[in-house]
Structure 1
Amino acid sequence: MNSMRLLIVDDEKDLCRILADRLHILYGITPDIAHTGDQALEMARAKRYDVVVLDIEMPGIDGIETLKRLKEIDKKIQVVLFTGHGNEERQRMAEVLGAFSYVDKIDGLPKLAPMIEGAFRLRKLLEDTYAEAALNEYN
């Protein structure tokens, strides 16, 4: 997991710090952090991320719109929505827009790390699949 490029996007600065610390302990990675959707999009244009942990309720553009725009920047990016303001409609919208998973902050912290791992594995699989497809195109 050391090669995972991870971005945490949440307006709760303390939560971002806690998540970053836990993920560093678990996987030896140092995630980048953004506190708004606009900041996350700017960072995603400048650097390729494998996985984004994304809150829904944030000032400015919300997590659903940020998800949509992240997928426009990079179709293979994997997004785990981590929210305390979830509902079924938002969850369905997230799935339609291509989110990897949807985790509730209230009881989902233990679920978050396995979701990040799964999202990273899928990202790597998509990269391999696209590389193989590109090679096959030229053979």
Structure 2
Amino acid sequence: MSTCSVLLVDDEAEFIETLAKRLTRRGLKVHLAFSGQEALDFLAANEADVAVLDVKMPGMDGIEALQKIKALKPGLEVLMLTAHANVEVAMRGMELGAFDYLMKPVELEELLCKIQDANKKKCLQQ
């Protein structure tokens, strides 16, 4: 598999910076966005294979960001990530095209597997 490009979107800077380091060590190409709008700005000018998107963010929340990301990049696979268990939000995210939904704190191996699965799906659809 070629290097997978992942966009991490979360307002918790320390969390995604640490996660980015761990994913980079595993061979992924990682980009960071600290808000939904920053993610949209990045995606307007760049490509990514998979986005990992926090649900609860100030301003544009993850569900709104997901809708806008899917409108901009329909083929991009998005993993929703949250610390707040909410079945309704998870179902809404899946209805809007999210690939999967993970709970924080997420195990690195589980996240890696989900990113790889999402990337495989993206590649098969191209």
TM over 0.5: yes
SS in 1 for 2:57: coil
| Structure of greater Rg | 1
* Residue in 2 that maps onto 1:19: 19
Give the TM-score taking structure 2 as reference length: 0.93
- Shift >2 Å, 4+ stretches: 106-110
CA root-mean-square deviation: 1.3
* Residue in 1 that maps onto 2:61: 62
Contact 2:10–2:33 under 8 Å retained in 1: yes
Contact 1:78–1:119 under 8 Å retained in 2: yes
Q: Are residues 8 and 107 of structure 1, via their aligned partners in 2, closer, same or farther at CA, if it must alter by over 3 Å?
A: closer
Deviation at 1:123?
A: 0.7
Give the TM-score taking structure 1 as reference length: 0.85
* Residue in 2 that maps onto 1:78: 77
Task: Give distance in 2, aligned partners of 1:108 and 1:3.
Answer: 21
Q: Could you report, residue by residue, the CA deviation over 1:58-104 in whole angstroms, capped at 9, with x for unpaired residues?
A: 11100011001100001110000111023000010011000000000
Deviation at 1:108?
A: 4.6
Deviation at 1:110?
A: 3.8
Residues 1-139 of structure 1: pairs in structure 2 closer than 5 A: 1-26=1-26, 28-127=27-126
Amino acid at match of 1:93: R
Q: Are residues 102 and 108 of structure 1, via their aligned partners in 2, closer, same or farther at CA, if it must alter by over 3 Å?
A: farther
Deviation at 1:30?
A: 3.1
The gaps in structure 1 that reach 5 residues or longer are 128-139
Structure having the larger proportion of residues in strand: 2
Q: Are residues 109 and 89 of structure 1, via their aligned partners in 2, closer, same or farther at CA, if it must alter by over 3 Å?
A: farther
Task: Give distance in 2, aligned partners of 1:54 and 1:37.
Answer: 8
Identical pairs, percent: 37
Q: Could you report, residue by residue, the CA deviation over 1:24-61 in whole angstroms, capped at 9, with x for unpaired residues?
A: 111x2231100000000111111121100000111110
The gaps in structure 2 that reach 5 residues or longer are none
